[in-house]
A and B are shown apart, each in its own frame.
Chain A
């Protein structure tokens, strides 16, 4: 290496900068995730769409379950719950910004509008 730290600064061993929850939090989270997995699969076989007659219910519920699972992983496994504000910000930013690409739907959804009555002369 070109430059080696000439004066390393050793840190007293008791330093811990982020709070860490007890291991039980991880076990509970894991249990929650497994239950939610069961819920998702059960939903698939139940097929809420056919039961309720409303299209898309199943997808919405399945996505809600997926979001709750992801949130659990982010908050507890990835320890964002005890993170700084900056970590919160970054953790949220990616997921929010990815939604921005949904703007592409604006195009595809409105393409058919041109053929609505009243626009064609």
Chain B
């Protein structure tokens, strides 16, 4: 590798500058840190670990389903494998992934704060996550859980073998980790915004994180108590959800989905927020209809709480309740559609730069739209009764969860990677990954729509011969998807070692996070000098007339950024 002398000089000069990464190197300085950026990095690493684990289980499922006769795994093992995949991916990956890693890192910086409101609570949240994750992992390794990630009673409370109670306690604790994160975000957004950072000057990512935190705070306790009741029922034999003892198992589903449907929006909203940032930055335009997008996040959070019954159309739920839930479920499509329309309008006549994070974002929009529209099939009772518990449902929520939350995360990770690590990754590999992921994803999950429509039930590994072609197609796609996930692990790690130093603002984006050096210093902003915000979010039109050195801008962050860059 040939590094020019100029580059070397720059990199050496960069090394001298103190940042949050090189301020201390001991293990203790990481494990006892209260710096939101370090905690975010710890979250990033641990979440990635669980993602790999969940991915391995997904690979096993796909491998098993290539044959209609269930040759590879026994039925019991198969149940345990898909349950492990679901539990790990939902509770340990999708729920915390964007808020706890990217959100944790970016939220204080983007609103101009030195840290979250409660730094030690933030650290506690990571420990709770690790304890909960450890317990879930232990339950999977020793005994296994075969209830599926939904833990439906009375199977989970009475009949299931294995370590269900331990796993439930793990989920309970992991839930507290997201509650503490959400609480921290709410207080931070309310009380820690920099001078001049009004609500309608906040980046839309922050709005999304705020809405997410509200859902976390209002929803998670309900599922926590519900799962706790299952634990009690399982260990002590109380009879709250057990039909044998006069309880109602459908009540469990009501309470479970009262959280778990909003949880879908816990996973989606941050991703939707990330996409706003990237589209604005790559089109160099203000997000069209900023207020509408901001309020659509809140609307999704509110509507998300009153649609839980659409998971229970095929249970003993009364048909009148089902009708109400069906109608409200259709309504959720409105705020989601507002977002998509506004992004498209933003891109219209913008100078769209097709960087890798933008490719991820574009993929996101496509997949999210498909996922959202197929959701309408499922919220209409007549079609849902046909499609309940088929691969159509599986494909639908993977389009939303993987195509949405995961691509949103990849997009955000690529966008903020230079800021978080101070290193540039290889753009070519990034773009290749984005395309590969989009293609592989569609190859994996589109056949599942067809198989589901034809009647392939979910969670079965013995199936009729006629579905095999779709399963094989899906498994082929999964291997492409697998490669697409291995690639970023390689080139992002490589960038840490040999990547170019990132400048403070490599994408020419606006926003407070791009006004400070990459990687940021420990308290983000200079001592006693928080930025004073006098501009709207996404003020890209100023950029064209020379953003930063015009007289109309107040002193503060931008001026300081310039001096930083000058020193580089």
Residues of A whose CB lies within 8 Å of any CB of B are 1-3, 6-7, 86, 93-94, 97, 100-101, 103-104, 106-108, 110-111, 113-114
Contact = CB atoms under 8 A, between A and B. Distances in A.
Given A7-B528, A104-B255, 11 more contacts: A2-B29, A2-B34, A3-B33, A6-B527, A7-B527, A97-B305, A100-B306, A107-B318, A110-B320, A114-B318, A114-B319
Contacts of B29: 2
Contacts of B218: 93-94, 97
A106 B325 CA distance: 10
Contacts of B250: 107
Contacts of A111: 316-318
B316 A101 contact: no
Interface of B: 23-24, 29, 32-35, 38, 190, 218, 222, 250-251, 254-255, 258, 305-306, 309, 316-321, 324, 522-523, 527-528
A107 B34 contact: no
Nearest 5 CB-CB pairs, A to B?
Answer: A107-B321, A110-B320, A111-B318, A2-B33, A110-B318
Contact of A2 (B38, B254, B258): B38
A3 B528 CA distance: 16
A3 B34 contact: yes
Contacts of A113: 318, 320
B316 A3 contact: no
B254 A107 contact: yes
A2 B522 CA distance: 10
A104 B32 CA distance: 44
29 contacts: A1-B32, A1-B34, A2-B29, A2-B34, A2-B35, A3-B23, A7-B527, A7-B528, A93-B218, A94-B218, A97-B218, A97-B305, A101-B255, A103-B306, A103-B309, A104-B251, A104-B254, A104-B258, A106-B318, A107-B254, A107-B309, A107-B317, A107-B321, A110-B318, A110-B320, A110-B321, A111-B317, A113-B318, A114-B319
A3 B317 contact: no
B318 A3 contact: no
A106 B105 CA distance: 42
A90 B214 CA distance: 11
A3 B306 contact: no
A45 to B, nearest CB: 30
Contacts of B321: 106-107, 110
B317 A2 contact: no
Contacts of B35: 2-3
A3 B320 CA distance: 58
Contacts of B32: 1-2
A101 B223 CA distance: 12
A114 B324 CA distance: 15
Nearest to B528: A7
B318 A2 contact: no
Nearest to A111: B318
A91 B410 CA distance: 37
B481 to A, nearest CB: 38
A110 B320 CA distance: 6
A3 B38 CA distance: 12
Contacts of A3: 23, 33-35, 522-523
Of A100, A107, A110, the most chain B CB neighbours within 10 A belong to A107
Contacts of B251: 104
Nearest to A104: B254
A114 B316 CA distance: 12
A104 B248 CA distance: 12
A106 B522 contact: no
A5 to B, nearest CB: 10
Contacts of A1: 32, 34
Nearest to B29: A2
Contacts of A108: 318
Nearest to B186: A90
Contact of A100 (B34, B305, B522): B305
A115 to B, nearest CB: 11
Contacts of A103: 306, 309
A68 to B, nearest CB: 25
A101 to B, nearest CB: 6
Contacts of B324: 106
Contacts of B255: 101, 104
A10 to B, nearest CB: 15
A74 B461 CA distance: 55
Contacts of A110: 318, 320-321
A86 B527 contact: no
Contacts of B190: 86
Contacts of A7: 527-528
Nearest to B251: A104
A97 B259 CA distance: 12
B312 to A, nearest CB: 8
B240 to A, nearest CB: 14
